[in-house]
Amino acid sequence: MNNERMKVFGFVVAIAVAAWQCDGSEHGASYEIFPLRMKTGHGGRYIPEVSCQSWRVGVEAHNVIDWKTVPLDCEGYIGNYMLADQYRSDSKTVCREAYFYAKTLNFTAKDIWVFDVDETTLSNLPYYAQHGFGVEPYNSTLFNEWVDIGEAPALPESLKLYKKLLSLGIKIVFLTGRPLEQKAVTVTNLKIAGYHKWEKIIVKDTSIYDGKTAVTYKSSERKKLEEQGYNIIGNIGDQWSDILGTNTGDRTFKLPDPMYYIS
Ligand SMILES: *[C@@H]1O[C@H](CO)[C@@H](O)[C@H](O)[C@H]1NC(C)=O
Ligand SMILES: *[C@@H]1O[C@H](CO)[C@@H](O)[C@H](O)[C@H]1NC(C)=O
């Protein structure tokens, strides 16, 4: 930062601090500079009180839940977040922590790491970029057409983590909400994207799990893995439903995803 910019920055900080002292701490009761009244944006309703960044943080922290679409006014913000550096940087932070944790472990041949697929292993950003980054209501017909092409790219930081875990000798299990009918295309897509090795890939048998939540489905499949003698030492996904429920694993890692919510 050069001197001139430093001065401007210092000035802005000084004003911000002064404003905070006036409106916030001094009178105790008035917190108007931090308006926190949340209206979760179902159906893309405008949320005047809450910035899109606050909404995204609320989503990642699982304070904002069960939302159907990204608030209409946040399309530009979320698009920028996804396409510029921040999404990649946030993903990298998660994957690095996961690797640092994995490196400390002494594992056995029955130790596995669970990866979700969509927005964890493979990216559907090419699709969502054409559909308002989550502002448009989910359209299963269109989304499945995209999945069936089998050309979703890898998430680069996740692919790095995957390779590092393999090189440590940890076995990988993919656990995805994609249905049985998409198993073949998912396997092909994973290989094209650079994922060549895994212990198991578990897709959703809709004859068993029809109408069940992802939390129920994934908990139940992880329980089966443990009953088969596997230890889940790590579990990574972009949805809270990947890491909530039972048999979640010794440690969980939440990748960012402000485009859709699956319960
Ligand atoms: C892993 O094994 C090494 C060597 O036996 C031991 O020193 C270390 O404490 C173990 N670490 C953990 C986390 O169990
Ligand atoms: C999904 O998209 C297709 C093609 O644009 C359209 O015909 C269909 O009505 C949409 N479905 C829903 C539920 O919006």
Strands 231-237 and 252-254: parallel
pLDDT value at residue 46: 52
pTM of the predicted model over 0.85:
no
- Report which ligand 1 atom has the smallest distance to the Cα of 106: 1
| Nearest CA, atom 9, ligand 1 | 106
- Report which ligand 2 atom has the smallest distance to the Cα of 140: 1
- All residues at 6 or more sequence positions from 67 whose CB lies less than 8 Å from its CB, including other chains: 40, 41, 42, 59, 261
Which of 101, 104, 105, 106 has most ligand 1 atoms within 8 Å of its beta carbon, as the pocket-test mutant?
106
- pLDDT over 90 at 13, yes or no: no
Distance from the CA of 107 to the center of ligand 1, in angstroms? 10
Fold of 3-254: Rossmann fold (3.40.50)
Lowest mean pLDDT across 29-38, 47-56, 74-83: 29-38
Does 93 contact ligand 2 (Cβ within 6 A)? no
Ligand 1 pocket at CB < 6 A: 104, 106
DSSP secondary structure letters along the chain = --HHHHHHHHHHHHHHHHHHIIIIITTSS--TTS-------GGG---TTS-HHHHHHHHHTTSS-S--S--GGGHHHHHHHHHSHHHHHHHHHHHHHHHHHHHT----TTEEEEE-SBTTTB--HHHHHTTGGGTSPP-HHHHHHHHHHT-PPBPHHHHHHHHHHHHHT-EEEEEEEEEGGGHHHHHHHHHHHT----SEEEEE-HHHHTT--HHHHHHHHHHHHHHTT-EEEEEEESSHHHHSSSS--S-EEE----S----
Please tell me the number of the ligand nearest to residue 144's CA.
2
Distance from the CA of 138 to the center of ligand 2, in angstroms? 9
Counting residues of the chain whose pLDDT is more than 70, the rounded percentage is 81
pLDDT in tens, 154-175: 999 999 999 999 999 999 999 9
- Report which ligand 2 atom has the smallest distance to the Cα of 137: 14
- pLDDT over 60 at 61, yes or no: yes
Does 149 contact ligand 2 (Cβ within 6 A)? no
Distance from the CA of 100 to the center of ligand 1, in angstroms? 15
pLDDT in tens, 224-259: 999 999 999 999 999 999 999 999 999 999 999 999
| Nearest CA, atom 13, ligand 2 | 139
- pLDDT over 80 at 56, yes or no: yes
pLDDT value at residue 91: 98
Distance from the CA of 141 to the center of ligand 2, in angstroms? 7
